[in-house]
Amino acid sequence: MIRLHHVPLGRSFRVLWLMEELGLDFEVAYYSIRDGSMRTPEFRALSPAGRVPALEYGDRVLFESAAILQWLCETHPEPKLQPTPGEAERARYLEFLSYSETIGCLVENLNLNRVFLHDPADASPVVIKLLTARLRAALKAIEERWAQDYCLSTGFSAADVMFAYGFELARYYVRFDEFPKLQAYWDRLKERPAYQRAKARDGEQDLYDRDFYPLPEA
Ligand SMILES: N[C@@H](CCC(=O)N[C@@H](CS)C(=O)NCC(=O)O)C(=O)O
């Protein structure tokens, strides 16, 4: 039995998408960050920090999206979605897995300031501007170096699942017309049947109440 513990639009989408790419048969248990369902002892037994993704896989429970993606690719080596140690693109692969969380953490901090505070007056415009600038810079750095179709020159891999998922959230804070190469790459990934199957199982997000959060005036 494989069961993914998932928040719609959360980082658990990476695992949902990858499992569709691998053609696995799995269940999805849905949560909301807002309703306390991830603060229970039962959920913390699956994921110590009370976060998604958590993956039940037979007798095993895993957390952390990058670790889960790597482990799933090792456990299901066909189709081959990651370079093995020693292969030329392995270093680039590992870089993208980690860089994805550089972007993920910036978005998470923007989310804290912009969508999770009970009183929006507690948000710091200065911090929001700094985080947004850092997010733009992190994306721009890749846009400027982007000279291929996927993260790896060898083609589609779990690095694309890990990295491009971040665009789903970053787009609430930065305009992607600044990043035409990344936008074209993302548009191509969204055409993948496995992505579309994953999207159909993602669920209704309750994080954002508008399409874009412009910088505060002050
Ligand atoms: N580095 C972790 C981050 C996991 C994480 O922070 N997930 C968010 C959803 S995107 C979460 O569960 N947040 C719940 C909370 O902060 O209370 C990963 O990639 O799995």
**Which two structure tokens, joined as six digits, stand for 189?**
């990934």
Hey, what domains does the chain have and what are their CATH numbers? 90-192 (1.20.1050.10)
Is 53 close to ligand 1, i.e. is its CB under 6 Å away? Answer: yes
**Residue 55 contacts residue 27 (beta carbons within 8 Å):** no
DSSP state of 157: -
**Region of residue 86 (left: phi > 0; alpha: psi -120 to 50; beta: else):** left
Residue 117, SS3 per DSSP: coil
Per-residue pLDDT of the chain (218 residues; tens, 9 = 90+): 999 999 999 999 999 999 999 999 999 999 999 999 999 999 999 999 999 999 999 999 999 999 999 999 999 999 999 999 999 999 999 999 999 999 999 999 999 999 999 898 899 999 999 999 999 999 999 999 999 999 999 999 999 999 999 999 999 999 999 999 999 999 999 999 999 999 999 999 999 999 999 999 86
β-strands 27-30, 60-63 pairing = unpaired
Is 136 close to ligand 1, i.e. is its CB under 6 Å away? Answer: no
**Residue 103 contacts residue 170 (beta carbons within 8 Å):** yes
Nearest residue (by CA) to ligand 1, atom 11, is 51
CA proximity to 130, closest of 113, 145, 117 = 113
Nearest residue (by CA) to ligand 1, atom 1, is 64
User: Cα of 147 to ligand 1 centre, how many Å?
Assistant: 31
Is 11 close to ligand 1, i.e. is its CB under 6 Å away? Answer: yes
Q: What are the CA-CA distances from residue 107 to residues 44, 75, 125, 132, 167 (Å)? A: 23, 30, 15, 8, 10
Q: What are the CA-CA distances from residue 187 to residues 164, 183, 184 (Å)? A: 10, 6, 5
Nearest residue (by CA) to ligand 1, atom 9, is 10
Is 14 close to ligand 1, i.e. is its CB under 6 Å away? Answer: no
Nearest residue (by CA) to ligand 1, atom 16, is 51
Alpha-helix residue ranges (DSSP H) falling in the chain: 12-22, 41-46, 65-75, 90-111, 125-145, 158-170, 180-190, 193-200
